[in-house]
């Protein structure tokens, strides 16, 4: 079916202005329902078990199970975005919280590698003091609306920044619907897509830039999906002389940028300690403002990239790393690439 005609479920077409704030997307973890998971997490830490080695049997949800089932349905088949409140950062260590976060993640999907380092439970911390070329999740610069490899993304805030670090979420399918309505000619450009730079995380036999165009919007089995990383598009054009972004390309990208940041479409909020976000990478774009750490503490989030089971049907061109979902691990390497987006 043509993208100009394919229907999009109403539940996917949410607008930030209509939500009226974060209360519309909140799932609360009741203290009394956390007992089984919390005790199990503490036991695993005491025994020296790494979270990524823990199984569902190791981390029983107990009374949380129905709530997590509803959460999974919401992010896969509903709005595609949920904010979880109630992780006990006031009484549990980072390691214990990591186990609890991992335990819930196990019920949402299968965790995949987030970089060449192969981490499946990632730490989002600014490290540009030791690596000025660190990839986006390891620096403090602003990130425009984008999506990540894998079906689902989740962050757990351990400690917010001293200032900044505001999260932005927007329905990529509402963006698609709006562009389809006002500029169907530019939708065709976005559906063709762009070649992506792989930021140095490609496997040894792969090219640094995708040989194929990654579509911003595509459809498979009657489902529309969004995929976009603006830096990867721009760096590909910077680094590869055979790639030229035409005037119509720039017009389409400018419209995409403007629409993904439109005040009536976006939902902005700053995650507090103990809050987690789960988002569907194919129906929601996410972004972050620049932030400043305090002298004593750095902003610290835990992160999961998850492959759903069953996975969302998407065209193969949406993948820009071989072996997706996730980024193939490569021993001894770090996610670092010098570009014009580096921390200044």
Q: Cα separation of 156 and 100, whole Å?
A: 10
Give 3-state DSSP helix, strand, coil % of the chain, rounded to 5: 30, 20, 45
Give the pLDDT confidence score for residue 295 in this predicted structure. 83
pLDDT over 60 (residue 192):
yes
Give the pLDDT confidence score for residue 133 in this predicted structure. 75
The fraction of the chain above a pLDDT of 70, given in percent, is 99
Burial (0-12, 13-18, 19+ Cβ within 10 Å), 109: buried
Region 31-38 average pLDDT: 97
Query: pLDDT confidence of 18, banded at 50, 70, 90?
Result: very high
Please give the domain boundaries of the chain with CATH numbers for all domains.
10-318 (3.60.130.10)
Give the pLDDT confidence score for residue 334 in this predicted structure. 87
pLDDT over 50 (residue 194):
yes
pLDDT over 70 (residue 149):
yes
- Residue 214 DSSP class: B
220 phi and psi angles, rounded to 5 deg: -145, 125
The answer to whether the peptide bond before residue 316 is cis (omega within 30 degrees of 0) is no
pLDDT over 70 (residue 1):
no
Give the pLDDT confidence score for residue 76 in this predicted structure. 97
Q: Cα separation of 203 and 327, whole Å?
A: 9
98-138 pLDDT, tens per residue? 999 999 999 999 999 999 999 999 999 998 888 787 787 88
Give the pLDDT confidence score for residue 14 in this predicted structure. 98
pLDDT over 70 (residue 343):
no
With residue 314 as reference, give the H or E element that holds it. none
Region 241-250 average pLDDT: 97
71-93 pLDDT, tens per residue? 999 999 999 999 999 999 999 99
Give the pLDDT confidence score for residue 344 in this predicted structure. 44
- Residue 194 DSSP class: B
Region 163-175 average pLDDT: 98
262-315 pLDDT, tens per residue? 999 999 999 999 999 999 999 999 999 999 999 889 999 999 999 999 999 999
Give the pLDDT confidence score for residue 135 in this predicted structure. 82
């Amino acid at each position: 079916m043509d993208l100009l005609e394919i229907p999009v479920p109403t539940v996917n077409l949410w607008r930030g202005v209509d939500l009226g704030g974060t209360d519309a997307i909140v799932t609360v973890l009741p203290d009394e329902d956390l007992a089984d998971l919390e005790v199990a997490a503490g036991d695993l830490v005491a025994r020296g078990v790494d979270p990524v080695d823990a199984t569902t049997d190791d981390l029983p949800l107990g009374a949380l199970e129905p709530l997590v089932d509803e959460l999974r349905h919401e992010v896969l088949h509903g709005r595609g975005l949920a904010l979880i409140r109630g992780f006990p950062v006031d009484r549990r260590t980072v390691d214990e919280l990591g186990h609890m976060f991992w335990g819930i993640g196990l019920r949402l999907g299968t965790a995949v590698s987030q970089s060449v380092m192969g981490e499946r439970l990632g730490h989002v911390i600014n490290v540009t003091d030791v690596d000025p070329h660190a990839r986006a999740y390891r620096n403090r610069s602003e990130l425009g609306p984008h999506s990540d490899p894998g079906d689902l993304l989740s962050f757990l805030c351990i400690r917010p920044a001293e200032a900044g670090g505001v999260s932005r979420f927007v329905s990529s399918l509402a963006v698609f619907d709006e562009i389809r309505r006002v500029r169907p000619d530019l939708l065709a450009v976005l559906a063709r897509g762009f070649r992506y730079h792989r930021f140095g995380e490609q496997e040894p036999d792969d090219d640094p830039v995708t040989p194929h165009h990654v579509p911003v919007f595509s459809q498979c089995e009657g489902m529309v999906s969004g995929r976009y990383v603006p830096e990867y598009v721009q760096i590909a054009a910077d680094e590869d002389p055979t790639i030229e972004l035409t005037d119509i390309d720039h017009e389409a990208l400018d419209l995409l940028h403007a629409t993904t940041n439109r005040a009536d479409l976006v939902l902005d909020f700053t995650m507090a300690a103990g809050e987690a976000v789960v988002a569907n990478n194919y129906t929601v774009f996410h972004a972050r403002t620049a932030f400043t750490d305090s002298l004593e503490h750095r902003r610290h989030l835990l992160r999961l990239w998850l492959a759903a089971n069953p996975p969302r049907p998407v065209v193969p061109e949406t993948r820009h790393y071989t072996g997706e979902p996730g980024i193939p691990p490569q021993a001894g390497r770090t996610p670092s690439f010098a570009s014009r987006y580096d921390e200044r």
